[in-house]
Chains A and B, each alone.
Chain A
Amino acid sequence: MAGNDKDALLNFLLRMGDSALILGHRVSEWCGHSPVLEEDIALANTALDLIGQTQLWLEYAAEIQGEGNSADDLAFLRDAWDFRNFLLAELPNGDFGRTMMRQFLFDAWASILLPRLAQSSDPRVAEIAAKAAKEAAYHLERSADTVVGLGDGTAESHDRMQAALDYLYPYVGEMFLSDEGDAALAAAGVAPDPASLRNEYDALLKRVMNEATLELPDTRFTHSGGRDGRMHTEHLGHLLCSMQWLQRAYPGSTW
Chain B
Amino acid sequence: MYAQMVKSTGKGIKPREEMSAQERAFQDRVDADERIEPRDWMPDGYRQNLIRQIGQHAHSEIVGQLPEGNWITRAPTLQRKMILLAKVQDEAGHGLYLYAAAETLGVSRDDLTEDLLSGRMKYSSIFNYPTLTWADIGAVGWLVDGAAIMNQVPLQRTSYGPYARAMVRICKEESFHQRQGYDIMMKMAQGTEAQHRMAQDALNRFWYPSLMMFGPSDTESVHSAQSMAWKIKIDTNDGLRQKFVDQTVPQAEYLGLTVPDENLKWNEKRGHYDFSQPDWDEFFDVLRGNGPCNTDRLGARRNAWEDGAWVREGLLAHARKKAARKTAAE
Task: Judge whether A122 is part of the interface by a CB distance below 8 angstroms.
Answer: no
| Bound CA span A247–B81, Å | 13
Does B243 make an interface contact (CB < 8 A)? no
CB distance from B90 to the nearest CB of A (A): 9
CB distance from B305 to the nearest CB of A (A): 8
Q: Which residues of B contact A71 (CB under 8 A)?
A: 78
Flag the segment in A46-54, A168-176, A180-188 that touches B: A46-54
- Given A48-B82, A242-B74: A150 and B315 within 8 A (CB)? yes
Q: How far is the CB of B313 from chain A (nearest CB, A)?
A: 5
Alpha-carbon separation in the docked complex, A253 to B134 (Å): 12
Q: Which residue of A lies closest to B61 (CB)?
A: A37
Interface residues of A in 40-90 (CB under 8 A from B): 40-41, 44-45, 47-48, 51-52, 54-55, 58, 71-72, 75-76
- Secondary structure call for the A interface: helix
Q: Which residues of A contact B317 (CB under 8 A)?
A: 153-154, 157
Most buried by B among A37, A52, A75, A146: A37
B164 in contact (CB, < 8 A): no
Report whether A246 and B76 are in contact in the complex, using a CB–CB cutoff of 8 Å. Answer: yes
Contact with A along B56-90 (1 / 0, CB 8 A): 00000010011001001111111111100110110
B314 adjacent to A156 (CB under 8 Å): yes
Q: Give the segment of B36-44, B186-194, B229-237 that binds chain A.
A: B186-194
Stretch at the interface among A23-31, A123-131, A135-143, A192-200: A23-31
Count of residues in B whose CB is under 8 Å from the partner chain: 50
Query: Any chain A CB within 8 A of the CB of B323?
Result: no
CA separation between A252 and B93, bound complex, in Å? 36
Known A31-B85, A40-B92; contact A51-B78, beta-carbon cutoff 8 A: yes
Is A242 touching B73 in the complex (CB atoms < 8 A)? yes
* B310 touches A (CB below 8 Å): yes
Binding site for B on A (CB under 8 A): 21, 25, 28-29, 31-41, 44-45, 47-48, 51-52, 54-55, 58, 71-72, 75-76, 95-97, 146, 148-150, 152-154, 156-158, 160, 242-243, 245-247, 250, 252-255
Having A32-B92, A44-B86, A253-B76, one finds 18 other A-B pairs with CB under 8 Å, namely A32-B88, A37-B92, A37-B99, A40-B92, A41-B93, A44-B88, A44-B92, A47-B72, A47-B85, A51-B82, A55-B79, A149-B315, A153-B318, A242-B73, A247-B76, A252-B192, A253-B191, A253-B192
